[in-house]
Amino acid sequence: MRNIQLIDTALEVAPELRISQWFNTPRGMAIDLQSLRGSVVLLQAFEMLCPPCVAYAIPQAAAVHEAFPSSEVAVIGLHTVFEHHEAMTPEALEVFIHEYRVKFPIAVDAPGVQGPVPQTMQAYGLRGTPSLVVLDHVGRIRLHHFGRVDDLRLGGLIGQLRAEAAIAGNCDADGCALPAGR
């Protein structure tokens, strides 16, 4: 898509996720973005009753999750319910995750404090679902996109951010060396 919004690298670190429940993590343990520093993070915001989310966003996130080691690219689904709250409960989400065989971690966005819009959705300024946010290895937002993202463009961005992380990991006061094995 031509309207993909790449973000300037000078931006601040992304806000921490505000989550009420986790699925697909060991014993439902929380994941915080600070613990993922060094990895590229793909945050896929979705609602299980959103047709484009089911048709494109979840399969794309699953493909990224399968294509890269989680130590290099961490994929997190963010179930961010801003409508039909009665139908999209954590219990219904658990069934959805099982039926669609979603393997990557899923976070349930904390309910809104003053209205129907959940807290992480507000903190990130998401316009709706699906929304894709990609963080670089230091936690900066490098992509913030509402709607479908072309697979090739997303793959190119992930490759670029992985290369940046590899180079940054091999730099010191004397300069930057190629990553081992290159």
Q: What residue segments make up the domains of the chain, in order of their start? A: 19-171
Q: Homologous superfamily of 19-171 in CATH?
A: Glutaredoxin (3.40.30.10)
For residue 98, what are its two tokens? 């099982």
Report the chain (182 residues): mean pLDDT per 10 consecutive residues: 48 88 90 93 95 96 96 95 73 94 96 89 93 95 94 95 83 52 50
Q: Using omega within 30 degrees of 0 as the cis cutoff, is the peptide bond preceding 130 cis?
A: yes
CB atoms within 10 A of CB 25: 14
Which residue in 12, 39, 73, 74 sits closest to 168, CA to CA? 39
Question: Coil, strand or helix: which one is 75?
Answer: strand
What is the widest separation between alpha-carbon atoms in the chain? 58
